[in-house]
A and B are shown apart, each in its own frame.
Chain A
Amino acid sequence: MKNTDFVVRFAGEGGQGFLSAAIGFASANTKAGYHAQTFATFPSQITGGPTWMQTRISIDPVLSRGDEVDVLVVFNEYAYETHKNEVKENGFILYDSDQLNIEPSEKVLGIAFEKLAKTTGNARAANMVMMGALAELVGVNLSVLEDFVKERWGDTSRYGEQIVPQNIAALKLGSNEVQDRGFKLAEIEPAKPLNTSQIFLNGNEAISLGAYSAGVEFYVGYPISPATTILIWMEKNLVEKNKFVHQVSSEIEAITAIIGASYGGKKSMTATAGPGFSLMSEGLGLAWMAEIPIVVVDVQRGGPATGLPTKTEQSDLLSSITPAHGDVSLPVVAPGTVEECFYATIEAFNWAEKYQGPVILLSEHGLAERQQNIPKPDINSLKIENRIINQSTDNYYRYESQGISPMPIPGSPGPYVANASEHDKMGDTTHLPERHIEMTERRFKKLEILKDSKYEYINSKSEIILMPWGGSKGPGFEAFEKLQEKNIDIGWAYTMFLNPLPEKLLIELQSKKLVIVPELNYLGQFSSLLRSQGVNAKSITQYTGLPFKVQYLVDQITELSSKR
């Protein structure tokens, strides 16, 4: 029997170059029509420290990183000791015999990657020896990697004429080494033909492309893991006429500057992570109060304060809804996959423009650092919203009426004061109780128009519903499929739109016996949000800094649902 997917984990020390090899291996397989997803976890330092990356290749779209490992590639002793127990029973360990020695067995194979590479005349082709060995082990045709090498260095590198044959020779050396020793996993089934062309990217790139598609005109930000790559993307691609991008001096400056730009009529965004998001609290309150459309991306990382800068967690949900003092309830859109990172960003802009206020795009480290193939978005089918702009030259009052009112833009009619203090219809400061009542209700009433968003709902008759959010969608859905195979009666609900929730879905959930929420935090934040809205929800929590494993979810859900 052939395999439908396999998982390779690369483990060693940061700076050993295997991270790019792992991405290259994934990318090469997507070129051959396979689906791939990478997962990386590393310490917060420039080079060194225990680092590992995992690549899952499948004939079907990949939902999660994969619980267990088919092939473990290790580059030092520590990596071997740490990861050896996660290798499947019939899996293999491939190790760099330049770096360590493992007692030989029929499951363990040492290759001197660099020594072999040197025989091609290029010691830097060590990763290619490793990839060649890997391809042979997992049954991927070597031509897939050869094509990748030709495309990667053939035309683009000045030394392509040299590098390409050297690398191809290195691939063969690695492959031969495995063949000679007779190691082999079951072969993987041939790739299925794909209907749509694919792109291969990570979550932060998908967010950046989504913002660009939505028409972002102004971006400023401050470097912070794991959101920095969005700033880098914008600095590269938003340098255009009538647009603006800049690295500013703090997250406080970033949030207030995007408010200034949006007040001036520009679609504006910034991206940050936990500590920066905390600094943005006052600015988010201002945007809510003065009714200025902005999008703030929070790429969640672990823990409070500085926490875990390079680990994943879903612990900013409650603080993203109420980041500021006073009565606020910020709209939150949380993508669950790399593909959703693209579409959620467009939705976040659409929400901000429609209801005229701040919207939080809640991503997470696990999505930001994940490379994945997704269908290339069809730009022509996107629906892009723009704020209503005031054209009236009569005495127009910005904050009159209950609900959405046209926004005057400096330079055109309808001058007003955008005010952080409580204000009247003209934007002037007031302390009158009736104005505070009127304006508070106005601000909350605007959320009503955001309640008709899309959601997934499968097996809706079941009394028990599984409802993960954000990046736990992938392992959650894989667990759901496994539970269905076991004939466990369970339904599935999912939405990117966490606040306000789609009204119809909320009504459905309120009628259920139990809604099970897998989420990566201690408090059980989404289930507490659901309970506050009359849903009997219970969380499966995890706070390891790593995403869920599917089997863990299957076990936990089975236990929770059998207790009923």
Chain B
Amino acid sequence: MAEKNNPEYDFKWCPGCGDFGVKKALEAAIKKKTIETEEPILNNVVIAGIGCSGNMVHLLEGEQPYGFHGLHGRTLPVAMGLKSSRPDLNVIVVAGDGDFLSIGAEHIAPQAKRNLDVCVVIMDNAVYGLTKGQSSPTSEEGMITSSTPYGKTEQGFDPLAYYLSLGISFVASGLSSKIKDLSELIYEGMIHPGFSIVHVQSPCTEYNNTYEILKGSPKKGIEPLAKPIDESHNPNDLKQAMEIVDTSNIPLGILYQSKVQPTLTQRFEDLTNKSKQKDIESLLKSYSV
């Protein structure tokens, strides 16, 4: 199996970028999955969109999975086509908040209603980094960016509440600097039978450095915004999950998980069991004069 070695490829994330942590977590989760399931790494496909996060597929180290670096906003449709036609593959989507929640937002609800069995990892830095710092759906109202020089005039988007409202069957929230925890969340998302989203706070050191706000600073007396979900939380309880999301903190951990809904693959299998096997001769015959 080939380890990647491409001296020509020269894309770099900025020093301190949250995406480094997500990369390590993703690598570890894929590795764990291949060991646990005894499936080859070649059964893994990482599908990326456009933005800083999109370069994930080129930067993964070690034994290589398959990769797809597609169009801005279109990760989910590619994943839908791949997973529904190849249920044997482990399909992972990586995207940023702009890609997933702005231009690609139209694709989330349909996959939620189908319960497409893929794992989505979102790197949220609340800014368009690669195009040098414009406001994104998750930027807060009033935030000054290059495209909102007098402050953002839209409300900030709450992705976790949105995911829960859509009935997505696995919703988790992570922090890029907590690599081990994050890796565990991604692994749980991968083995979850259905549509899973691991939404990661992955700060942009260049345009929106939120490390201190997220992690807090005892020295400066800043309380961390991101806090682990209380152990008493029952992830099967949607109402409770909604209440957690409704606070001003960013919860870390598995917010919601339901294994009740069938996956798209199972739904389609049910149809194939009901329908008669066709063949071209009998199909042609049905048009005979």
Interface residues of A (CB under 8 A from B): 27, 30-31, 197-201, 205, 209, 212-213, 217-218, 220, 237, 239-241, 244, 246, 248-250, 252-266, 268, 282-283, 286, 290, 373, 376-377, 379, 395, 408, 410-413, 415-421, 424, 426-430, 432
B55 touches A264 (CB 8 A): no
Give CA–CA (A212, B287) in the complex, Å. Answer: 15
B51 to chain A, nearest CB (A): 12
B82 touches A260 (CB 8 A): yes
B284 touches A417 (CB 8 A): no
Verify if B277 is at the interface (C-beta below 8 Å from A).
yes
Give CA–CA (A198, B287) in the complex, Å. Answer: 8
Chain B neighbourhood of A411, CB < 8 A:
40, 42-43, 86, 88-89
A428 touches B58 (CB 8 A): yes
- Among A200, A246, A417, A427, the most chain B Cβ lie within 10 Å of the Cβ of A417
A435 to chain B, nearest CB (A): 8
B71 touches A286 (CB 8 A): yes
A379 touches B79 (CB 8 A): no
A415 touches B67 (CB 8 A): yes
A415 touches B287 (CB 8 A): no
Chain A neighbourhood of B275, CB < 8 A:
239-240
* CB contact list, B26-69 vs A, under 8 A: 40-43, 45, 47, 50, 55, 57-58, 64-69
B9 touches A264 (CB 8 A): no
One digit per residue, 1 when the CB lies within 8 angstroms of any chain A CB and 0 when it does not, for chain B 64-97 equals 1111111100101111111111101100000000
Give CA–CA (A424, B4) in the complex, Å. Answer: 14
B82 touches A261 (CB 8 A): yes
B9 touches A424 (CB 8 A): yes
Chain B neighbourhood of A31, CB < 8 A:
289
Chain B neighbourhood of A282, CB < 8 A:
71, 74
B80 touches A257 (CB 8 A): yes
B77 touches A253 (CB 8 A): yes
Residue of B nearest to A194 (CB): B289
Top 10 A-B pairs, shortest CB-CB distance: A260-B81, A257-B81, A256-B77, A417-B67, A260-B78, A199-B287, A261-B81, A260-B82, A261-B85, A264-B86
A237 touches B278 (CB 8 A): yes
B206 to chain A, nearest CB (A): 20
Give CA–CA (A1, B283) in the complex, Å. Answer: 41
Chain A neighbourhood of B212, CB < 8 A:
none
One digit per residue, 1 when the CB lies within 8 angstroms of any chain A CB and 0 when it does not, for chain B 1-31 equals 0101010110100000000000000000000
A415 touches B65 (CB 8 A): yes
Residue of B nearest to A373 (CB): B289
Chain A neighbourhood of B70, CB < 8 A:
256, 259, 286, 290, 418, 420
Chain B neighbourhood of A250, CB < 8 A:
106
Given contacts A256-B77, A286-B70, 7 further A-B contacts (CB under 8 A): A240-B275, A249-B107, A257-B78, A408-B66, A411-B42, A411-B43, A428-B8
Residue of A nearest to B84 (CB): A244
Q: Which of B41, B277, B288 contacts A197 (CB 8 A)?
A: B288
Chain A interface SS verdict (over half): mixed
| Known contacts A209-B283, A395-B2, A426-B6; A199 and B79 CB within 8 A of each other | no
A260 touches B69 (CB 8 A): no
A429 touches B268 (CB 8 A): no
Give CA–CA (A73, B190) in the complex, Å. Answer: 64
A463 to chain B, nearest CB (A): 42
- Among B4, B50, B58, the most chain A Cβ lie within 10 Å of the Cβ of B58
| Known contacts A197-B288, A212-B283, A417-B67; A424 and B78 CB within 8 A of each other | no
| Known contacts A198-B289, A415-B67, A421-B69; A220 and B81 CB within 8 A of each other | yes
Q: Which of B6, B68, B76 contacts A418 (CB 8 A)?
A: B68
| Known contacts A257-B80, A283-B74, A428-B6; A201 and B287 CB within 8 A of each other | yes
A256 touches B78 (CB 8 A): yes
| Known contacts A200-B287, A417-B69, A419-B69; A256 and B271 CB within 8 A of each other | no
B84 touches A246 (CB 8 A): yes
- Can you sample 28 A-B contacts with CB below 8 Å? A27-B289, A197-B289, A212-B283, A239-B268, A239-B272, A240-B272, A244-B84, A248-B110, A253-B76, A256-B78, A257-B78, A262-B81, A266-B85, A266-B86, A286-B71, A379-B281, A395-B2, A408-B66, A410-B42, A410-B66, A411-B88, A415-B42, A415-B65, A417-B57, A426-B6, A426-B9, A428-B9, A429-B55
B284 touches A376 (CB 8 A): yes
A415 to chain B, nearest CB (A): 5
Chain A neighbourhood of B71, CB < 8 A:
256, 282-283, 286, 420
A199 touches B284 (CB 8 A): yes
| Known contacts A218-B81, A256-B81, A410-B43; A263 and B68 CB within 8 A of each other | yes
Chain B neighbourhood of A213, CB < 8 A:
280
A232 to chain B, nearest CB (A): 14
| Known contacts A283-B71, A373-B289, A410-B86; A264 and B283 CB within 8 A of each other | no
- Among A254, A257, A261, A373, the most chain B Cβ lie within 10 Å of the Cβ of A257
A240 touches B81 (CB 8 A): no
Q: Which of A217, A249, A261, A420 contacts B110 (CB 8 A)?
A: A249
A214 to chain B, nearest CB (A): 10
Q: Which of A200, A209, A220 contacts B280 (CB 8 A)?
A: A209
A422 to chain B, nearest CB (A): 11
Q: Which of A240, A249, A379, A432 contacts B284 (CB 8 A)?
A: A379
Give CA–CA (A487, B109) in the complex, Å. Answer: 65
| Known contacts A199-B284, A253-B110, A411-B88; A416 and B66 CB within 8 A of each other | yes
B68 touches A260 (CB 8 A): yes
| Known contacts A200-B289, A220-B81; A240 and B277 CB within 8 A of each other | yes
| Known contacts A260-B79, A379-B284, A413-B42; A432 and B85 CB within 8 A of each other | no
Give CA–CA (A78, B88) in the complex, Å. Answer: 60
B284 touches A377 (CB 8 A): yes
Q: Which of B50, B74, B280, B288 contacts A212 (CB 8 A)?
A: B280
Give CA–CA (A432, B9) in the complex, Å. Answer: 10
Residue of A nearest to B77 (CB): A256
One digit per residue, 1 when the CB lies within 8 angstroms of any chain A CB and 0 when it does not, for chain B 247-289 equals 0000000000000000000001001101101101101100111
A431 to chain B, nearest CB (A): 9
Q: Which of B64, B74, B85, B106 contacts A264 (CB 8 A)?
A: B85
Chain B neighbourhood of A249, CB < 8 A:
106-107, 109-110
Chain A neighbourhood of B271, CB < 8 A:
239
B78 touches A263 (CB 8 A): yes
